[in-house]
């Protein structure tokens, strides 16, 4: 069979997403971002699952319409089984099972973290996928992980965060600076006009390839408290310099561990995924590593970096080829390692 059509559903956090793939190419890839959480400065799980519930049916309709295919053409339904917020996962899982039963097509469970990595294999005329083995660093509001990718379904987590995700470090620091949620992109923006060497924030000492970001947030808090006590207008005056210094520190933390992984494993092919891969600091650091250290860096387009359903679909496609189907009883799994 050469024409495989997969409907993919992603609902692990606060984005409801649906995509249609024709083999390894995304015909449609739609995300409904839930803006309701902005007022709370972070994702409220109960509100997220309610919004998924409202979004999911119209979103799947839209994905089918944009792909210009009929649901009867679908070969399988792929869905995110985990990891994520359980209430959110339940919506996508239940919907995928019902549709699979209703249409009489197979069901395929997908691990969200594997999907971030395999998003690099979504067909795109402008770039080539990495070849095995490669190192993948998944950096977002929910994850910070370095993975050794030996094959499509042979991956090993080499290191991960022991506390906050790197995106949280951006967002929580941004909140302390009075910026709206999610503040990561704003820190990136203001950093461009600031002096990255004006302030110093500590680099955490963590063994091996693991990360820790909670200390950074605390040091930003104390730093701002100390400075605003001296000058109440400090944040306003120094915003760009603080953002630039903070971003420099975060990029340094990421690059230190990534470089260690490259050295430890002797693999210079490095792939980024996750929303923080949009950060200009980390992108520039990788470009420099390509030029100066002979690395080869892979960064997918932004719509495949942030949470999306096309990445769920590509895993679905590879599993379909491998006859790896799931039972209708498969439960959602909030904690689900690669």
Residues 6+ apart with CB under 8 A from 25: 122, 123
DSSP classification of residue 161: B
Residue 307 is a binding residue for Zn ion (CB under 5 A): yes
Stretch that binds Zn ion, among 57-65, 213-221, 224-232, 306-314 (CB under 5 A): 306-314
Q: How far is the CB of 313 from ligand KG4 (least distance, A)?
A: 17
Shortest Å, Cβ 139 to ligand KG4: 8
Using an 8 Å Cβ cutoff, are 32 and 59 in contact? yes
Query: How many Cα atoms within 13 Å fall on the side-chain side of residue 251?
Result: 24
Give me the least distance between CB of 154 and ligand KG4, in Å please.
Answer: 24
Residue 32 within binding range of ligand KG4, rule CB under 6 A: no
- As a whole number of angstroms, the distance between CA 6 and CA 68 comes to 13
Q: Is 75 in the site for ligand KG4 (CB under 6 A)?
A: no
Positive or negative: CA dihedral 142, 206, 271, 121: negative
DSSP reduced 3-state for 171: helix
Site track for ligand KG4 across 186-225, x = CB under 6 A? --x-------------------------------------
Residue 195 marked in a binding site: no
Contact 239, 190 (CB under 8 A): yes
Q: Are β-strands 76-82 and 107-111 bridged in parallel, bridged antiparallel, or unpaired?
A: parallel
Quick one: which of 100, 245, 279, 326 contacts ligand KG4 (CB under 6 A)? Answer: 279
Residue 10 Cβ, how far from Zn ion at the closest point, in Å?
8
* CA 51 – CA 101 distance, rounded (Å): 24
Using CB distances below 5 to 8 A depending on partner kind, what does residue 160 bind out of Zn ion, ligand KG4, none?
A: none
Helix (H) or strand (E) holding 281: helix 280-293
Say whether residue 142 binds ligand KG4 (CB under 6 A). Answer: yes
Judged by CB under 6 A, does residue 82 bind ligand KG4?
A: no
> What x-and-dash track marks residues 290-309 binding ligand KG4 by CB under 6 A?
----------------xx--
Per CB under 6 A, the list member of 64, 271, 276, 310 interacting with ligand KG4 is: 276
Judged by beta carbon, residue 116 or residue 319, the one nearer ligand KG4 is 116
Q: 169 and 216 in contact (C-beta within 8 Å)?
A: yes
In the complex, the smallest distance separating the C-beta of residue 282 from ligand KG4, rounded to whole angstroms, is 8
Coil, helix or strand at residue 322: coil
Element spanning 189, H or E: helix 184-191
Nearest distance in Å: CB 324, Zn ion: 21
Phi/psi of residue 307, nearest 5 degrees: -55, 130
Minimum distance between the CB of residue 250 and Zn ion, rounded to whole angstroms?
18
Query: Annotated binding residue at 178?
Result: no
Give the Cα-Cα-Cα angle 19, 21, 23 (nearest 5 degrees): 165
Please tell me the chain's helix, strand, coil percentages from 3-state DSSP, rounded to the nearest 5.
50, 20, 30
- Which SS3 state, helix, strand or coil, does residue 158 take? strand
Distance from C-alpha of 142 to C-alpha of 90, rounded to nearest angstrom? 18
Asked whether position 170 contacts ligand KG4 by CB under 6 A, the answer is yes
Q: Does 171 bind ligand KG4 (CB under 6 A)?
A: yes
Q: Which is nearer to Zn ion, 24 or 119 (CB)?
A: 119
What residues make contact with ligand KG4 under the rule CB under 6 A? Answer: 13, 140-142, 167, 170-171, 182, 184-185, 188, 274-276, 278-279, 306-307
What residues make contact with Zn ion under the rule CB under 5 A? Answer: 140, 307
Residues in the annotated binding site for substrate:
138-142, 171, 184, 188, 279
Residues in the annotated binding site for Fe cation:
112, 116, 307
């Amino acid at each position: 069979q050469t024409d495989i059509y997969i409907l993919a559903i992603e609902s692990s956090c606060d984005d409801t997403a649906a995509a249609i793939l024709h083999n390894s190419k995304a015909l449609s890839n739609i995300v409904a971002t839930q803006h309701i959480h902005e007022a709370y400065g972070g994702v409220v799980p109960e509100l997220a699952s309610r919004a998924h519930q409202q979004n999911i049916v119209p979103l799947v309709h839209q994905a089918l319409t944009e792909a210009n295919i009929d649901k009867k053409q679908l070969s399988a339904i792929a869905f995110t089984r985990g990891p994520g917020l359980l209430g959110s996962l339940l919506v996508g899982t239940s919907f995928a099972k019902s549709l699979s039963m209703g249409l009489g097509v197979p069901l395929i469970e997908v691990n969200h973290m594997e999907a971030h990595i395999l998003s690099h294999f979504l067909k795109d005329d402008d770039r080539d996928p990495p070849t095995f083995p490669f190192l993948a660093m998944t950096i977002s509001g929910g994850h910070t992980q370095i993975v050794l990718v030996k094959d499509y379904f042979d991956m090993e987590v080499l290191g991960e965060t022991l506390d906050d995700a790197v995106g949280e470090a951006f967002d929580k620091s941004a909140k302390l600076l009075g910026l709206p949620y999610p503040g990561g992109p704003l820190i990136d923006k203001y950093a461009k006009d600031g002096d990255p060497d004006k302030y110093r924030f500590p680099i955490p000492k963590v063994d091996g390839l693991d990360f820790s970001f909670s200390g950074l947030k605390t040091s930003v808090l104390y730093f701002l408290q100390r400075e605003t006590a001296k000058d109440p207008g400090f944040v306003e005056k120094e915003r760009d310099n603080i953002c630039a210094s903070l971003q420099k520190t975060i990029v340094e933390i990421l690059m230190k561990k990534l470089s260690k992984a490259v050295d430890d494993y002797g693999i210079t092919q490095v792939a980024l995924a996750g929303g923080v891969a949009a950060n200009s600091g980390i992108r520039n650091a990788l470009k420099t590593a390509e030029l100066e250290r002979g690395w080869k860096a892979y960064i997918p387009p932004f719509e495949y970096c942030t949470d999306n359903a096309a990445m769920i679909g590509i895993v679905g496609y590879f599993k379909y080829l491998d006859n790896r189907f799931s039972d209708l009883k498969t439960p959602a799994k909030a904690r689900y390692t690669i």
